[in-house]
Amino acid sequence: MGAQKSVHAGKAKIDFNVDFTHRLCAAMMVHSFRNSGTGSPLSLIVGSLCIKHPNLFGKSEKLDVLWDKGLSDSNILIAYRKPRPEWLAQHSFVIQHSVSPEIGIHGVPADNFSRTQSGGVNLCRFSAGLDLDEPGSSNWSSKTSIKFEHVRPVNDDGHSISRDLHGFPVTCSGNYGDKMVVLKQESRFAKADDHSFTRFSLQIEQGIPLMSKWLIFNRFKFAASKGVKVGPGFLLASLTGGSIVGDIAPYQAFAIGGLGSVRGYGEGAVGSGRSCLVANAELTFPMNHMLDAALFCDCGTDLGSGRYVPGNPGLRHGKPGNGVGVGYGVRVKFPMGHFQVDYALNDYQQKTIYFGFSNVAS
């Protein structure tokens, strides 16, 4: 349920999108939205604005401007690309600014870890730098970027903070923000046929200390997934994990739990650590041409690394560090997109329902 509109202004294209569906479902099902005290219907609007210019200065330079608004977050992205031969790396200059709640690390678990309440910490991020998209083979692709980043924690009133509600630091520097230059390399592998697919990605980040107080760290994350047909059904298994060494702010830790991680738990309610490992398995089988049923099992662990995060937010909030979620769901296929409902049960016998809607056109 929403509205979409495209407008052409000269050679530029402007896309408007306002969407009520997902957030309204979440507002009816999640207690934190129900008790948030937001009385204005406009606060439930999720919208986006996209401006694309294919020939900015007459030499096929491309300019993309994207603005997204959520319930409590926003993101602005500006990307400028100059044309290059296909056998050379494609360059993009990118500027990004975002504000979002930091729930995965500083959130407080509630209702037997099935949901996470705000801990009063939000992250205001600014980054600027260069993206290099390397020419890919038939199965492999890679991307390299180097960016300056400034991360500034703020409270719910928008004021800069250096400590959380319990007096523990929320930055690595101890000041009102952290600065860093990050060199990131990402490689992806994908292969598919009529009966199965395989995907793998590896992301490595290196903090470069150009100044004495800037963060120096090495962080890697991997994700592997395999899908195969099993009779009329389809089995999907995935494994994700990562680790970070060196300077670390609490917001850089890995958050475990929630949709896309371990269902049945709130965001980050399983744990938050310097390392993590999450395994997922889901079997879907068709009921008719529009409806699929699903069974799933998720599990995750911080590998005992929660106590090494500055301020120890995971242990302070009583997060178990390990968790398993099981459940079932349905997938409904509509011409405009796919609707998904999952019913999950965690280790503490707490039930959670998740709603999702994906637009096929997007």
Q: What is the pLDDT of residue 9?
A: 58
Query: CA-to-CA distance for 130 and 79, rounded, in angstroms?
Result: 10
Cα angle 250-276-230, degrees, rounded to a multiple of 5: 145
> What is the arithmetic mean of pLDDT over 62-74?
88
DSSP lists the bridge partners of residue 80 as 63, 93
DSSP lists the bridge partners of residue 286 as 292
Query: CA-to-CA distance for 117 and 222, rounded, in angstroms?
Result: 28
Q: Model confidence over 243-255: pLDDT tens digits? A: 999 999 999 999 9
> Per-residue b/e over 49-86, b at no fewer than 16 CB within 10 Å?
ebbebeeeeeeeeebbbbebebbbeebbbbbbbeeeee
Q: Categorize the per-residue pLDDT at 232 as very low, low, confident or very high, splitting at 50, 70 and 90.
A: very high
> What is the arithmetic mean of pLDDT over 167-180?
94
Q: What is the CATH number of domain 84-359?
A: 2.40.160.50
Q: Which residues contact 266 (CB under 8 A, 6 or more apart)?
A: 103, 107, 109, 110, 113, 114, 115, 116, 257, 258
> What is the arithmetic mean of pLDDT over 171-178?
93
> What is the arithmetic mean of pLDDT over 101-122?
93
Task: Give the predicted TM-score (pTM) of the model.
Answer: 0.85
> Are 191 and 151 a contacting pair, CB within 8 Å?
no
> DSSP letter at 20?
-
Q: Categorize the per-residue pLDDT at 36 as very low, low, confident or very high, splitting at 50, 70 and 90.
A: very low
Q: Does residue 104 come out as left (phi exceeding 0), alpha (psi in the -120 to 50 range) or beta? A: alpha
CA of 111: how far to CAs of 236, 264, 270, 299, in Å? 29, 11, 13, 19
- Reduced 3-state DSSP string for 203-216: EEEEEECCCCCCCC
Q: Model confidence over 176-224: pLDDT tens digits? A: 999 999 999 999 999 999 899 999 999 999 999 898 889 999 999 999 9
Q: What is the pLDDT of residue 115?
A: 92
Q: Categorize the per-residue pLDDT at 46 as very low, low, confident or very high, splitting at 50, 70 and 90.
A: confident
Q: Judging by DSSP bridges, how do beta strands 254-256 and 271-273 pair with one another?
A: antiparallel
Query: CA-to-CA distance for 174 and 168, rounded, in angstroms?
Result: 10
Task: Give 287 or 55, the one with higher predicted confidence.
Answer: 287
